[in-house]
Amino acid sequence: MFKKRIISYLLLLIFLVALYSCSTKKDAFLNRNLHTLSTKYNVLFNGNVAFDQAKQVLDDNYNDNFWELLPIEPLKIEEEKLEIPTINEKKQTDDGESTAQGFEKAEVKAVKAVQKHSMDINGKERNRQIDDAYLLLGKARYYSQRFVPALEAFNFILENYTDGNLRDETRVWQAKTLVRLQNEQLALETLKLLLQNEYLPLKTIENAHTTMAMAYTSLDSTDKVIRHLDSAVFFSDNNKLKARNLFILGQLYRTQQKIDSSNMAFEALAKTKKAPLRYKIHAYIDRAKNYSKQDSTELIFATLNKLIKDRDNRPFLDELFYQKGLIELQNDSTNKATVNFENSLRTKQAKDFQRELSYEQLGNILFDKADFQPAGSYYDSVIQITKNKNVKRVRRIIRKRKSLEEVILYEGIAKNNDSILKIAALPKEEQEQFYQSYIDKLKKEEEEAKKKLEETTITSGFGNFNDDGSKDASKGSKFYFYNTSVAGFGKQEFRKIWGNRALEDNWRLSNKKAAAKAKEELDVLEAANTFDNSKKYELDYYMSRIPTEKTKLDSITSQRNDAYFKLGLIYKEQFKEYPLAADRLEKLLSFKPKESLILPINYHLYKIYTEFNVEESNKYREAIVNNYPDSRYAAIILNPEYVLASNEKDNSPEGVYNDAYCDYDFYRYEDALQKSANAIKQFEDLPIIPKFELLKAYILMKTKGAKAFKEALDFVAINYPNTEEGKHAVRILGGLNTVSSEIEKK
C-alpha cells in the first residue's frame, strides 16, 4: 500500500510539473525547452514535410516550354490569385485538426505553432522556433501566390528577430516577393545590401544572385541578368537550380548572338553529372540549335544519334529527330531532313507543339519544291493541332494555306480533265487495254492486301470470329475493326496525320470554302464522284463512263484550259514561281485554246520570261508586236515608260481613279473614258489597274452597249482572275445572257 501511495504522489507531481511547464507565460527553463521541442519536432516538422511535398509536386507538374526562354523561377502566376486580401485575413482551424493540403497545410501548421507555442514575454520571444514558423508561413503563402500576406510574414521576422542566418534567408525571400509585386528596385537595394556581407552561406549567395536576375528580367536588362546568373552558377551548391540557370544563360547568350558563350553554357550543363535529365537533354538539343558550318557536323550527329539510341531518352525523341532534320536542311540534305521530320512525328510520345513544328517544316519543304497540294495537307495538320491560332507563326501558316486553296483546286481540275481527255482521245482498243490493265492491277493489289491481313491475323493472337462475346473478342478478331488493338492503332495514326475531322463529305479539306468552290467547278465530273464500287472489275462499266458527246468534251476542255490559265497567273503573281507559271501557260498554248486567250497568254509569258530567260521573253515580245501590232499589249511593250505616282492626292493613282469615277457618276462618259485609258497606260502593273479596267467596262456599257460591255468584262475576268474586280466580272458575265435584253434597253 505504501509503495502504491508513493507512486501515486510521484505521478501527481509529474502531472503538476508538466501542467506548470505548458504555460507560455512562464519564462522557465522547462517551459522554454518543452515548447521549443514541441514546436520543432511536432508542429513544424509536419508543416515542413507538407511544404516539401507540395513544392515537389509543383516542380514536377510545371511544364517548361524549352522552345522559348525559360523563366528563372518555375512558378506559373495565376492572375486570379493576385487579389490583395484584407489585413485581418487568417486561416483558422480547430486544434490539432486540419483538412488543408500542400501549402495550405504548411501555412496552417505555421499558424498553429505561433498561436499555441509562442512565448512572447516582456516583448521578447523565448521560443527559438517561432521565427522558423513565420518563415514557413511566408514561404507557404508565397507559393500559394498570396504575395502581400507573404511579405507581411517576412517583414515581421526582420522587424522582430535577430538570428543572423535566418534574417539573411528571409531577406532573399522578401526580395523575391517584392519582385512578384513589381517592386524590383526595392528588391535590388535589399539584395545589394545583403551581398555586402562576406560571410554569407553559399546557398544564400546563390539564391540572392538568382533573385537579382529575376528582378533584372522584369526590368529588361539582359546584360545584368546574365551577370547575376553567372554568379549564381559560380556559387551554386544546388544541382537543380544550377542546371536551370546554366540553360537560361545559354539561351540569353544566343539572343545576344554570343554563340560561343552560349555553346559553353550548354556544354557545361551537358557535362554536369547530377543535373536533371530534361535539362541535360535539352542542353544537347540547344547546342545543336547553335549549329553553324564551322561546327563538326559528324560530331553533332554522333552526339544526337547516341542520345536517340538511349532508351531513357524516349520522351525526347521527337525533339532530337527534329533537330537532326534542321541540321540536314542547313546542309541542303532535303531528303534526309524529310526522313527525320517524319521520324519525329512517328515517336509515340511526340508533343503537340513539336508535331506542329515538324508538320510545318515538311510543308515548307514541299512548298519550296512547288509541290503545293501535299504542302497544303501538312499545313492543315498544323492548324488542326495548334491550341492558339493567334500566334504570329500560326497566323502566317493560315495565310499561306489559304493562298494554296486555289492552286490545289485548279491543279486537281487540270489533272482530272487532262486524264479524261487523254483517255477519250484514244482508240477504243487502247481504251479497253488501258482499263483492263487497271483492273488487273486492282485485283493484284487486293490479293496482296488479303494475304498480308491473313499473316497479320495469324501473328496477332485473334479470338474466335463467331464468338463476339468471348474474352478473346476484345483482344482480336479476323475482321480488322473487330480487333480493338489494330483498329485503335489505325485511329491513332489517322489522328496523327489528319487531326480530329468531322464525319462528312470532303473531310480532307480544312476549309469548306474550297470544297464548295470545287463542287461548282467540277459539276461536269459529277459522275466520277458516284463510282459504283461493286463494278470496279467490269470493263464495260469503265467504258460506259468515258464521255463521247462533243458538248461534254468541249466543257471539260474549257475547264481544263481555264484551270491552266489561272494556275499560270497564280504562280506568277502570288508565288513568284516563274518556271512553274511558264510551264502551265506553255502547256495551255499547246492545247490551242480559244483565240481570246492567246494574246494574254503570250503577254504573260513575255513578262514571266523576263525574270529568268531573256531569249524566250524576246520571242514572245516579237510574237505580240508582229502578230498583234494594234493591240494594247503591243502598245504597252513599245512604250514602256513608267510614270511614278505623285505624292499629291490629285495625281496619285487613287486620286485619278476617283476623278474618273466622278466623271462617270455625273454622266461625263467621254471624259471618264479618256482618263481611264490614260491611267491604264500611266499606272501599268500597279494593283489599281483592275479597278480602271472594270470602270472602263461600265463606261463602255453606257456608251457602246452590251457587246462592248461583255468584251471589256471578259478582258477583266481573263487578265485579273484573282482580284475582286476579276471575280466581280465573272459573276456579271455569268448572268449576262439572261439579262442581255435588259442591258440593250438601258
Pairwise pLDDT comparison (351 vs 714), residue with the higher score: 351
Q: How confident is the model at residue 494 (pLDDT cuts 50, 70, 90)?
A: low
CB 248 within 8 A of CB 265: no
Q: How confident is the model at residue 56 (pLDDT cuts 50, 70, 90)?
A: confident
Q: How confident is the model at residue 515 (pLDDT cuts 50, 70, 90)?
A: very low
Residue 525 pLDDT exceeds 50 = no
pLDDT digits (tens, 9 = 90+) for 572-610: 887 888 998 999 999 999 998 888 889 889 989 999 999
Q: How far is CA 728 from CA 126, 574, 604, 732, in A?
A: 89, 19, 22, 6
Amino acid at the residue 165: N
| Phi, psi torsion values for 125, nearest 5 degrees | -80, 120
Give me the percent of the chain exceeding a pLDDT of 90. Answer: 34
pLDDT digits (tens, 9 = 90+) for 76-118: 876 545 444 433 444 444 433 333 378 888 888 888 877 776 7
Question: Are 416 and 520 contained in the same domain?
Answer: yes
Average pLDDT over residues 500-507: 52
Q: Enter the pTM of the model.
A: 0.66
Assess if residue 131 is contained within a domain.
no
| Phi, psi torsion values for 121, nearest 5 degrees | -120, 120
Average pLDDT over residues 633-654: 60
Average pLDDT over residues 421-427: 91
Burial grade of 66 (CB within 10 A; 0-12, 13-18, 19 or more): buried
CB 127 within 8 A of CB 36: yes
Helix 512-521 / helix 392-424 crossing angle, nearest 10 deg: 20
Please tell me the distance from the alpha carbon of residue 110 to that of residue 402, in angstroms, as a whole number: 59
Of the candidates 371, 354, 364, 353, the one whose C-alpha atom is nearest the C-alpha of residue 397 is 364
Residue 133 pLDDT exceeds 50 = yes
Please tell me the distance from the alpha carbon of residue 510 to that of residue 490, in angstroms, as a whole number: 21
* Range scoring the smallest mean pLDDT among 202-206, 478-482, 557-561: 478-482
pLDDT digits (tens, 9 = 90+) for 319-353: 999 999 999 999 989 999 999 999 999 998 899 99
> What is the predicted pLDDT for the residue at 15?
45
Q: How confident is the model at residue 24 (pLDDT cuts 50, 70, 90)?
A: low
Residue found under cell 490551242 = 592
Average pLDDT over residues 184-202: 92
Question: Are 684 and 536 contained in the same domain?
Answer: no
Please tell me the distance from the alpha carbon of residue 147 to that of residue 158, in angstroms, as a whole number: 17
Residue 463 pLDDT exceeds 50 = no
Question: Are 659 and 543 contained in the same domain?
Answer: no
Assess if residue 493 is contained within a domain.
no
Amino acid at the residue 527: A
Question: Are 375 and 446 contained in the same domain?
Answer: no
In terms of DSSP H, where are the helices of 460-574? 484-498, 512-521, 539-544, 550-573
Question: Are 335 and 445 contained in the same domain?
Answer: no
Of the candidates 252, 186, 242, 193, the one whose C-alpha atom is nearest the C-alpha of residue 217 is 252
Q: Among residues 372, 387, 402, which one ends one of the domains? A: 387
Residue found under cell 540569353 = 252
Question: Are 362 and 424 contained in the same domain?
Answer: no
Assess if residue 200 is contained within a domain.
no
H or E segment to which residue 400 belongs: helix 392-424
The C-alpha cell that represents 609 in the structure block: 520570261
Q: How confident is the model at residue 470 (pLDDT cuts 50, 70, 90)?
A: very low
Assess if residue 397 is contained within a domain.
no
Degrees (nearest 5) of the Cα angle 717, 376, 385? 135
* Range scoring the smallest mean pLDDT among 58-72, 378-392, 729-743: 729-743
β-partners of residue 120 are 125
* Counted domains in the chain: 3
Distance of CA 298 to the CA centre of its chain: 31
Average pLDDT over residues 375-392: 90
Pairwise pLDDT comparison (180 vs 746), residue with the higher score: 180
Sign of CA dihedral 550, 553, 558, 559: positive
Assess if residue 548 is contained within a domain.
yes
Give me the percent of the chain exceeding a pLDDT of 70. Answer: 76
Q: How confident is the model at residue 511 (pLDDT cuts 50, 70, 90)?
A: very low
CB 593 within 8 A of CB 584: no
Q: How many CB atoms lie within 10 A of CB 731?
A: 12
> What is the predicted pLDDT for the residue at 178?
95
> What is the predicted pLDDT for the residue at 468?
46
Residue 22 pLDDT exceeds 80 = no
Residue 675 pLDDT exceeds 90 = no
> What is the predicted pLDDT for the residue at 669?
82
Question: Are 661 and 727 contained in the same domain?
Answer: yes
Assess if residue 554 is contained within a domain.
yes
Question: Are 713 and 655 contained in the same domain?
Answer: yes
The radius of gyration of the chain's CA atoms, rounded to the nearest angstrom, is: 39
Sign of CA dihedral 426, 429, 435, 438: negative
Please tell me the distance from the alpha carbon of residue 352 to that of residue 457, in angstroms, as a whole number: 33
The C-alpha cell that represents 484 in the structure block: 480493338
Please tell me the distance from the alpha carbon of residue 255 to that of residue 222, in angstroms, as a whole number: 9
Residue 696 pLDDT exceeds 60 = yes
Pairwise pLDDT comparison (499 vs 380), residue with the higher score: 380
> What is the predicted pLDDT for the residue at 616?
93
Residue 16 pLDDT exceeds 70 = no
The C-alpha cell that represents 25 in the structure block: 507565460
Residue 121 pLDDT exceeds 90 = no
Could you tell me the residue range of the domain that residue 675 belongs to?
649-745
> What is the predicted pLDDT for the residue at 79?
55
Assess if residue 192 is contained within a domain.
no
Q: Among residues 593, 608, 628, which one ends one of the domains? A: 593
> What is the predicted pLDDT for the residue at 644?
37
β-partners of residue 125 are 120
Of the candidates 362, 411, 398, the one whose C-alpha atom is nearest the C-alpha of residue 562 is 411
Please tell me the distance from the alpha carbon of residue 584 to that of residue 651, in angstroms, as a whole number: 38
Average pLDDT over residues 530-555: 86
Please tell me the distance from the alpha carbon of residue 25 to that of residue 666, in angstroms, as a whole number: 102
Output helix, strand, coil percentages for the chain, rounded to the nearest 5.
75, 0, 25
> What is the predicted pLDDT for the residue at 370?
78
Question: Are 414 and 507 contained in the same domain?
Answer: yes
Average pLDDT over residues 44-50: 85
Question: Are 316 and 421 contained in the same domain?
Answer: no
Sign of CA dihedral 151, 152, 153, 158: positive
Average pLDDT, the chain: 80
> What is the predicted pLDDT for the residue at 108?
86
Question: Are 432 and 533 contained in the same domain?
Answer: yes
Three-class secondary structure of residue 121 per DSSP: strand
CATH number at 701 reads 1.25.40.10
Residue 20 pLDDT exceeds 90 = no
Three-class secondary structure of residue 684 per DSSP: coil
Residue 471 pLDDT exceeds 80 = no
Residue 170 pLDDT exceeds 90 = yes
H or E segment to which residue 125 belongs: strand 124-125
Average pLDDT over residues 604-630: 91
Please tell me the distance from the alpha carbon of residue 191 to that of residue 214, in angstroms, as a whole number: 12
CB 226 within 8 A of CB 253: yes
Please tell me the distance from the alpha carbon of residue 109 to that of residue 95, in angstroms, as a whole number: 10
> What is the predicted pLDDT for the residue at 481?
43
Residue found under cell 547568350 = 253
Of the candidates 287, 354, 288, the one whose C-alpha atom is nearest the C-alpha of residue 316 is 354
Distance of CA 255 to the CA centre of its chain: 21
Question: Are 369 and 417 contained in the same domain?
Answer: no
Q: Among residues 593, 611, 637, which one ends one of the domains? A: 593
Assess if residue 588 is contained within a domain.
yes
Residue 682 pLDDT exceeds 80 = no
